Structure 1
Amino acid sequence: MTKVKCETAMPTSALGHGGPIVSRLALGTMTFGAETDEAEAARQLDLFVERGGTFIDTADVYGGGASEEIVGRWARRRGGFGDLVLATKGRFGPPAGSHGASRRSIVRCVEASLRRLQVEAIDVYFIHGWDRHTPICETLATLGDLVRAGKIHDVAWSNVAGWQLQRIVSVAEAHGLPRPVALQPQYSLLERGIEIEVMPCALEAGIGLTPWSPLGGGWLTGKYAADARPSGATRLGEDPNRGVEAYDLRNTSRTHAILEAVGAIAARVERPPAHVAIAWLLSRPGVASVLLGARSAAQLADNLDAIDLVLPAEDVAALTKISAPSIPAYPYGFLEDWSDMDVWRRLGGSGSA
């Protein structure tokens, strides 16, 4: 396969309505301080910026706070973040931190992240997940206070259901509190569950999507086979039961049909399968920036090269069809002839359970 060296300038996109302009590929730093040591993390950050990347994403739980510290020290050595857009998350907290999305917790989380990142303000602050114990108005009011205090510029959410996202938007609008500019869900050719309700809600509200796990935990690189359990220095090789990306969970006929389609397109366009998977995701409605997480600068460089690949419309359609998730017969199948299902059909969803 031809080795691609991308020389295309990194394109940008607005992060939702009213959010910052960010590069269409973002650097996810979940590996920093865990699988990736500080020296290699710095190489990734340098490479990302050299290649035109502007959007850096971290969280207080990554490496138990080490990821934020590594990113903060790197920025300090280069004289600050400058025009880069910095995002971090709070909700679960590092081991010694506070937990939940209450006022007490979020204030403590933000203050701790500011210290670790060595900044006065966070550009985009994500609440890392829904907190059923805290009224959403309390969380939003706290974020509003932090925005007014100049400690956060924009707010966002991660890992929520459709009704939860709509609740966030409705309460924010009703009380004049900050609306989210972005949502960070799991989304890839292998995981399209957000298309049932989360994505239509985000599109309606003008919220930008910044998907995580665009390669399905490595599945969409073609490195895992149906008849051989993974081993070695890969995510599933080290932990085959890794959450939603677990080998036994993903090792299905649907997964391998998708991998076969991706591989065929990759061979035809002379690109790695990962490029095809990323290009498809960048073509999806509402996707502002795709998070790339890597263990090494070499791995990151390979994935950054995907930015100039624009798939032919027929290839996008073929991938959308082969990966279409089934929907429950009720209520979605029952309603499929109604106008409310137009968005679902545009997304390439299947109308049968």
Structure 2
Amino acid sequence: MRMCANWYRSQRLFLWALLLLKTERLSIFAARISRHAQRPCRAYHVAVCWQRHRALIHHPSEFSLTTYHYLGRSGLKVSRLALGTMMFGGPTDEATSHAIIARAKSQGINFIDTADVYQKGRTEEVVGRALQHDRHDWVLATKFANPLGAGPNRGGTSRKWIVEAVEGSLRRLGTDYIDLLYFHRADFDAPLGEAVRAIGDLIRAGKLRYFGVSNFRGWRIAEVAHLADAEGIDRPIASQPLYNLVNRTAEAEQLPAAAAYGLGVVSYSPLARGVLTAKYDNGVAPDPESRAARADKRLLETEWRPESIAIARQIRDYLAARGISPTDFAVAWVLNNQLITSAIAGPRTLEQWEGYVRALDYRITPEDEALVDRLVAAGHPSTPGFTDPGHPVEGRVPHVAAAPQAL
């Protein structure tokens, strides 16, 4: 009787799925469901498999401050916007930082993102003090691997540094556990297996709940997933790539790899470090309060490109007649990608934060998508041949110094 009920349940699930499937990839998945549903003993498992697959796909109609999605194939639910804190404790003073965090929580945001290197550790301290009375209401994410201080072992992904970095973050954040710990970057000179084993030990010790990767290429996402399987720990649940409409490089391999290996995607820099606000113009001195005027290193070596600035102005002109702000458009465009779970919004002021939130009210149209496709080819940056010097291409000179690892 139970097998029969499961068989009928899987048939209903299959018919429901057909109404939603709009891509060839998911149609293939539906065909697989149909074949397996003919075997009653597998019906329940097929239903679970479909639900887990669909959890990685997010529809534009689901934009809401109080809509939460599972992060990858985990049971952890996060808001569509994650509060990015890189400016806190630096350009954004502590009082303003706390006001932004309180406002975000009141609006339904439950996901906050920081890193050990932000403002040389001060950001984690500011965030920790803000969360001290409602820590358990937040999904708290931080990162390790970038250098923090002098010395050959004050960064990277060795077991020594991972343990020390986590202990330091716990101390600065004033908490006894981290919900989500990211590799901030790949360390090609260190064995990834050593890092995964260290992460596993910290999870078993109760200091971490989950882990993820940031700025990992597709093949590294695959490698870390296989190593986690080999170590008997859960795979990473999130990938954090740079992704915006003037740098679509992540579409080529990072986003598909994350989907294939069950990772949610928490993208960063939806405004291209401020370029997509259209506040800059080629040949015109930037506003004294802007990141460009402050000679922000990462902006100047990445998004500060004539092509990106020109595209931002074109989009601004396209939106002007409709009364839509470039910020609304840029953030909504990122969230319109069905493989994006959450987008990190990193404000400097409370006003900037409210601008990010307003973006959830805008719905990208087919005409909008067509415009972006004309301006920037899918899977490419706005500038032909551009490569972020912080994450160089390794296709000609071997970059891996450590011994190869079995998958």
Q: Would you say same fold, with TM above 0.5?
A: yes
Residue of 160, 164, 178 corresponding to 1:108: 164
Q: Give the alignment partner of residue 271 of structure 1, picking from 308, 321, 324.
A: 324
Output the amino acid matched with 1:202: A
Provide closer, same or farther for how the CA distance between residues 258 and 233 of structure 1 changes in structure 2, counting only shifts above 3 A.
closer
> Which amino acid in 1 is paired with 2:244?
S
- Whether the aligned pair in 1 keeps the contact of 2:275 and 2:303 (CA below 8 Å) is no
Q: Distance in 1 between matches of 2:309 and 2:246?
A: 7
Residue pairs, 1:152-301, within 5 angstroms: 152-239=208-295, 242-243=297-298, 245-246=299-300, 250-253=304-307, 255-257=309-311, 259-260=313-314, 262-301=315-354
- Residue 320 of structure 1, CA deviation: 3.2
Q: Which residue of 2 aligns with 1:86?
A: 140
Give the superposition deviation at 1:174: 3.1
User: What is the number of residues matched between the two proteins?
Assistant: 317
CA deviations on 1:91-143 (whole Å, 9 max, x unpaired) are: 12532783111111101111111111111111111111111222111111111
Q: Deviations over 1:4-61 (max 9, x none)?
A: xxx9643222211115111101110000111111111111111111111110000110
1:72 aligns with 2:128: yes
What TM-score, normalized by structure 2, do the two folds share? 0.73
Instruction: State the SS of the aligned residue for 1:236.
Output: coil
The answer for the alignment partner of 2:109 in structure 1 is: 53
Q: 1:111/1:254 Cα in 2 relative to 1: closer, same or farther (>3 Å)?
A: closer
Distance in 2 separating the partners of 1:209 and 1:30: 19
Which amino acid in 1 is paired with 2:358?
Answer: D
Q: Percent same amino acid at aligned positions?
A: 36
Asked if the contact 1:258–1:319 (Cα under 8 Å) also holds between the matched residues in 2, the reply is no
Distance 2:301 2:181 in 1: 32
d(CA) in 2 for partners of 1:268, 1:207:
39
**Is 2:65–2:81's contact at 8 Å kept on the other side of the alignment?**
no
Equivalence for 1:13: 69
SS of equivalent to 2:283: coil
User: For the residues of structure 2 that align with 1:216 and 1:19, how far apart are their CA atoms?
Assistant: 30
> Alpha-carbon deviation of 1:326?
6.9
How is 1:304-343 mapped onto 2 (pairs within 5 angstroms)?
Answer: 304-325=357-378
Structure 1 unmatched runs, 5+:
1-6, 329-353
Q: Gaps spanning 5+ residues in structure 2: where?
A: 1-62, 382-407
Distance in 2 separating the partners of 1:326 and 1:122: 33
- Cα 1:136–1:225, aligned 2, differ >3 Å: closer, same or farther? same
Match of 2:149 among 95, 113, 124: 95
- RMSD of aligned C-alpha atoms? 2.2
